[in-house]
Amino acid sequence: MDKDYDILKVIWHADGGEDYAKNATKYPSNETCVGLKGYGVDCYDPATAKEQFEAYAKYHGNDGKNQFIQFMMSFLKETAPDAETSMEIIDQVLDPLKEEHPILIGNHKKHREKSEYHGHGFVGTTNLETGKMLHPTNKLNYAMAQRMADIIQKPVELVIEKKNKSPEPVGDGDNNTEEKKDFTRIFYPHKNTEG
């Protein structure tokens, strides 16, 4: 029997590029947007946000490298019954990254059978102070999924999706290719002892 979970999807475009950067800065404010936030970038002007992400990367010698890790959070209706709650959760989950990385958040309302709200947090991969690149490693992804579970005090399904423009080769160098499968894992909350 399938269970319903709130979801944290980590999306990593291994070969991003110019079109992806344009889309990443425009998508948060699309027609389903019910809230925007920016940390270190202008959330109301996608072109300016794109320039800001690029300037941080260029300053630290990271231009031409993947600029974003996207954290998409989808909430069940009982978890986020309104836009304010959805945005608050997204903001709290991304909190540990705000000091060192530029972030653009778009909160969206889209009616689905079991959810109304989801959000996209595009986190710049360049550390603002050191220039060190942030990578979507298991250490980061697991910590973010556990953080979300602890904040909402419910299980969270982590989905890791790596996108490439071209499928990865499979086998012994022949022409067979295969799409990389998404990784999923459930994280359970630690008991909330505050209060």
The secondary structure of 8-29 as a DSSP string is: EEEEEETT--HHHHHHHHHGGG
Element housing 71 (H / E): strand 68-76
Q: What is the pTM of this model?
A: 0.88
CA distance readout (Å), 105 to 53, 78, 108, 124: 13, 22, 10, 11
Domains of the chain: 6-187 (3.30.930)
Q: Which residues of the chain have pLDDT under 70?
A: 1-2, 164-180, 192-195
Quick: pLDDT tens for 145-171: 999 999 999 999 999 987 765 444 444
pLDDT of 3 reads 81
Bridge-based pairing state of the strands 115-124 and 68-76? antiparallel
Q: Is there a contact between 126 and 60 (Cβ–Cβ < 8 Å)?
A: yes
